[in-house]
Amino acid sequence: MFLRNATGILPFHNHPPEIAGHCNSFDKDVNRQEAGMIFEEIVVGPLSVNCFVVGCENSREGVVVDPGGDVDSVIQAVQKHRLKIGTVINTHGHFDHVGGNRATVESFGGRLLIHQADVALVGMAADVARTYGLQGESSPPPDDFLNDGDEITFGGHTLKVIHTPGHTRGGCCLYFESEKKIITGDTLFADSIGRTDLPGGSHEQLLESIRTKLFTLPDDVAVYPGHGEATSIGHEKRHNPYF
């Protein structure tokens, strides 16, 4: 999906030639409701970012993750589930993931969170987008910072912040332990990893983050990356060509 975006530029992953395709055995029905959790994926923006609307079916409290654009679609999903959004989270500060921050926060009034190491990126998002011939919008400053080990609770659900630098210095993953789900932003993809040739990137650091912080999770944890198809921790441990 994100390999074939309309511009043909700036895939935010590495994709070696030996990869034939994504894992086909994994259940890709991501827009589902289970154990009281609302979990909807919306592909947004010119670089096909996976934005997530996650909520508690009982309390209707929710969060939005990586509203990179097409905010009308995000608003529709939130309204469909009748959610009250208290938090907007960016997994990292690249322009394709933060381009809808302002409109999302203005629509729902939630607090905006990102890791402190990526704050400079959100303020220059529009300028960076223009260098690739795209229109973008810089984000307002965050209301607070994500830190490794933080827990964010909405209704009956809790996500844990896992700091995974490498794609960017402030890249984070969001782990729903009870539901066995993790949103990995541009850290880990199906059969691939995030690119590390942009400012603040480090190939060695990214591999270390994945090995020590993601591959230590149970194999049956479902992985929802920032672009492309879902996968699982077990599949990536066994088949990802970078390991």
What residues does each domain of the chain span? Answer: 34-239
Token pair in block for residue 208 = 């270390």
Overall fold of domain 34-239: Metallo-beta-lactamase; Chain A (3.60.15)
Instruction: With beta carbons less than 8 A apart as the criterion, state whether 170 and 185 touch.
Output: no
Q: Which residues contact 106 (CB under 8 A, 6 or more apart)?
A: none
* Residue 138 pLDDT: 87
Q: How far apart are the first and last CA of the chain?
A: 23
* Residue 137 pLDDT: 86
* Residue 7 pLDDT: 27
From the list 142, 224, 211, the residue with the least C-alpha distance to 175 is 224
Instruction: Report the alpha-carbon distance of residue 89 to residue 142 in Å, rounded.
Output: 9
Instruction: With beta carbons less than 8 A apart as the criterion, state whether 110 and 86 touch.
Output: yes
DSSP one-letter code for 234: H
Token pair in block for residue 234 = 């077990």
Residue 56 φ then ψ, to 5°: -95, 125
Query: Measured between alpha carbons, how far is residue 65 from residues 77, 105, 153, 185 in Å?
Result: 13, 12, 14, 9
From the list 229, 71, 50, 201, the residue with the least C-alpha distance to 136 is 71
* Residue 22 pLDDT: 30
* Residue 136 pLDDT: 84
* Residue 25 pLDDT: 34
* Residue 135 pLDDT: 86
* Residues in the chain with pLDDT values less than 50: 1-10, 16-28, 33
From the list 183, 132, 133, 185, the residue with the least C-alpha distance to 12 is 185
* Residue 9 pLDDT: 33
In terms of Cβ atoms closer than 10 Å to its own Cβ (0-12, 13-18, 19+), residue 140 is middle
Q: What is the pLDDT of residues 1-54, one digit of tens each?
A: 222 232 233 455 665 433 322 333 344 455 554 559 999 999 999 999 999 999
* Residue 10 pLDDT: 47
* Residue 192 pLDDT: 98
